[in-house]
């Protein structure tokens, strides 16, 4: 098979291989598998995971899927909340084989791919957050779990990703991600992929943050230099 044909076939099969069967308990964290310039990245929480695929240089976003997962026997079963390729493949669930190799994840059966667990880097803001409202908090109506229109931020071990989507229509509105730090009230993002504009990759954005109960108050200036105030609620 020619290399180009192989890659095309791989991308068709990968979504089914990504969320595969498992022996043992999945360790929470970030897992990476590189194939030359192509990166596959898994963010795995206690019951939620995201898989994103992108080219590193020149930057090119390819795909992201995510949702709630459970394990049963040797299978990992995922109920997707979003799928950037939904208009192409109509996938809302995934049920695929997977196994552990030490701390690494081996995905697929006939065509296996090894995902290496990255170094843990616990810090402020780790977790899942749903956009609630524009600040300041003056009692306005908030978006949350009950709202089908969601914007999710998933932060874990120094990696972040935001996704805008609709859980009923499966309309996908965009995503971006990369590395982050949160220390002494300063939140910094380093963008590594961005579905709406690949030219944004490489940018570093700094904001102020403050947590108040289950809320994250996110302030600073947006990409246009305009004042920004967002409130995000901790997803439970």
Cβ-based neighbours of 107, under 8 Å, separated by 6 or more:
17, 18, 19, 20, 96, 97, 98, 113, 114, 115
- The structure's pTM equals 0.87
Supply the Cα-derived Rg of the chain in whole angstroms: 18
- Rounded mean pLDDT of 131-138? 94
Q: What is the pLDDT of residues 166-194, one digit of tens each?
A: 999 999 999 999 999 999 999 999 999 99
pLDDT confidence of residue 9:
40
Q: What percent of the chain has pLDDT over 70?
A: 90
Name the nearest CA neighbour of 43 among 97, 124, 105. Answer: 105
pLDDT, position 24: 59
Least trusted range by pLDDT, from 82-86, 109-113, 122-126: 109-113
CA distance linking residue 85 with residue 181, whole number of Å: 30
Average pLDDT, the chain: 89
Task: For 143-153, write each residue's pLDDT tens digit.
Answer: 999 999 999 99
Tell me the average pLDDT across 74-103. Answer: 92
Confidence bin at 95 (pLDDT 50/70/90): confident
- The pLDDT of residue 146 is 95
The more confident residue out of 9 and 205 is 205
In the chain, what percentage of residues exceed pLDDT 90? 75
Q: Please determine, for residue 112, whether its predicted confidence score (pLDDT) is greater than 60.
A: yes
DSSP secondary structure letters along 86-116: HHHH---EEEEEEEEETTEEEE-SSS-EEEE
Rounded average pLDDT over 213-225: 90
Cα(191)–Cα(203) distance, integer angstroms:
6
The tens digit of pLDDT for each residue in 9-44 reads 444 444 433 433 334 578 999 999 999 999 999 999
State the Cα–Cα distance between residues 87 and 33, nearest whole angstrom. Answer: 26
pLDDT at 12: 41
Question: What is the C-alpha to C-alpha distance for residues 214 and 234, in angstroms, rounded to an integer?
Answer: 5
pLDDT value at position 18?
Answer: 41
């Amino acid at each position: 098979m020619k290399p180009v044909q192989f890659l095309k076939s791989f991308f068709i099969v990968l979504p089914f291989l990504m969320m595969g069967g498992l022996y043992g308990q999945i360790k929470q964290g970030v897992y990476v598998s590189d194939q030359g310039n192509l990166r596959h990245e898994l963010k795995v929480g206690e019951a939620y995971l995201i898989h994103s695929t992108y080219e590193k240089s020149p930057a090119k976003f390819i795909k992201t899927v995510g949702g709630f997962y459970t394990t049963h026997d040797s299978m990992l079963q995922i109920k997707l909340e979003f799928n950037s390729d939904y208009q192409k493949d109509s996938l809302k669930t995934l049920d695929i084989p997977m196994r552990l190799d030490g701390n690494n994840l081996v995905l697929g059966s006939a065509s296996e791919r090894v995902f290496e667990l990255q170094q843990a880097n616990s810090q402020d803001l780790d977790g899942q957050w749903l956009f609630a409202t524009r600040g300041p908090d003056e009692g306005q109506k908030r978006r949350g779990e009950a709202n089908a229109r969601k914007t999710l931020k998933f932060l874990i071990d120094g990696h972040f990703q935001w996704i805008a989507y609709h859980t009923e229509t499966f309309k996908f509105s965009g995503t971006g991600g990369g590395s982050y730090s949160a220390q002494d009230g300063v939140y910094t993002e380093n963008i590594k992929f961005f579905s709406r504009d690949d030219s944004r990759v490489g940018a570093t954005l700094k904001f102020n943050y403050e947590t108040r109960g289950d809320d994250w108050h996110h302030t600073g200036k947006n990409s246009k230099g305009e004042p920004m105030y967002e409130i995000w609620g901790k997803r439970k």
